[in-house]
Chains A and B, each alone.
Chain A
Amino acid sequence: MVYQTWWKALGVVLLVYTFIAGLLIPLKPGISSVHPSNAATGEEVVLEINGYNTLFTRSGEEVRAWLKMDDAYALGASGVEIVDDQHIRARFYIPAFLPDSGRVRDFTLLLDDPFNGACVLPSAVFITQDSIDPAMGKAQWVNAPIKGLHANDGLSFPFRNILKESIRNTYFHVPLWFAMVFLFLFSVGYSVRYLRTGTHDNDRRAHALAVGGVLFGMMGLVTGAIWAKNTWGAYWSWDVKQNMTAIALLIYFAYFILRGSFEDPEKRARLAAVYNLFAFVALIPLIYVIPRLTDSLHPGSGGNPAFGSDDLDNTMRMVFYPAILGWTLLGFWIASVVYRMERLRDRVLEFY
């Protein structure tokens, strides 16, 4: 297996596909910003809306706009003016009272036309009311039901207002962690095999796979930090997921130090194998269990299921699953090169 080429070639092909599809498929049209973002009751407001990847001039002048409070109440625009492909103006008459007892309410902006499909910007506009009277608000409210929304059928990735184009990191950050776990899993498998058989080659394989795993873990941390800077606001937010993965990697660093500190090959291999078992047993709760038990910024934590329909759609799956396999195969290739080099060294030194 180590010397065969087909799986290395497969990994490269899958990664080339990941890079091309992951970087070139466009995002769905979306709303990048709205001005003004504040309004008061009883006034007329004209919203300047900036679209992202939108082609408003091709909408056939059929753009509809709503300010949505909740599932029951939505306000329809009295007029929509198309400025250019990325800009429209929507005019809203806000009633004197809101059908809500809060002083300030956030409204979701919703656009729809046959060409671009439906676009949503959550908490786009905050409407303030001076006098609070929910009953009057309900009576006065001119409800515009949101009906007949269009879908955008083109090949595209979802538009998320916080992520925007960085949603593509799903194929360049997340699969690194999958690859790391697979590498560590095979590494601990060879460690178990060493403990059962005592064959030195198994220890060498376990070590090479752990090197690959730590390499991918470090890439995962660095890429995660860059993504975090642009979505959470800081490279390192001391988030539970970041902390626990860093601890897991430190445990694996100790594996290399431990393995390097014994002269006797027999002793070194046995202690390294036992420690590798411990490291893997610690890894799983550190990266998969503890972050899910507490609140975290990271998806897949605190009752926030990662890889639900919010995070991945079918177009993304078409790239995401090949990306996991591609990065994993690249990891095994790197580990196999390390293994071959170590074996060569052992043989050469034995020979002399």
Chain B
Amino acid sequence: MTNLFQRSVFLFFLLLSASCLSAQTNDPDFMQSVGKIYVAVGVILAIFAVIVLFLIYLDRKLTKLENQIKDHE
């Protein structure tokens, strides 16, 4: 259950970041008209995505540790 949840969260953010990146570059005129603010938005979203991916990594390691403890009980 958790595994499925993790995978869907992972995929969601992967797609989110990918779509943000492509939306940024599709229309250079649009980028110019808003003064490239979406570059800053993209950068902040990228930081957010990496931190979320790291949380998923930590979550998995903790789950593994919990399972190890459970096995010994």
Contacts and interface: CB of A to CB of B under 8 A. Distances in A.
Given A165-B39, A172-B40, A226 B58 contact: no
Contacts of B51: 219
Prevailing SS type, chain A contact patch: helix
Contact count band on B: 20 to 34
Contact count band on A: 20 to 34
B35 A334 contact: no
B16 to A, nearest CB: 14
Contacts of A3: none
Interface string B45-58: 01100110010001
Interface string B3-36: 0000000000000000001001100000110111
Prevailing SS type, chain B contact patch: helix
A78 to B, nearest CB: 29
A176 B37 CA distance: 19
Contacts of B47: 172, 176, 219, 222-223
Contacts of B62: 341
Contacts of A334: 54
B31 to A, nearest CB: 7
A172 B36 contact: no
Contacts of A218: 50
A27 B43 contact: no
A166 B40 contact: yes
B39 A166 contact: yes
A349 B72 CA distance: 10
A173 B35 CA distance: 18
A66 B32 CA distance: 24
A344 B24 contact: no
B63 to A, nearest CB: 11
Interface of A: 19, 23, 27, 32-33, 52, 163-166, 168-169, 172-173, 176, 215, 218-219, 222-223, 226-227, 229-231, 334, 337-338, 341, 344-345, 348-349, 352
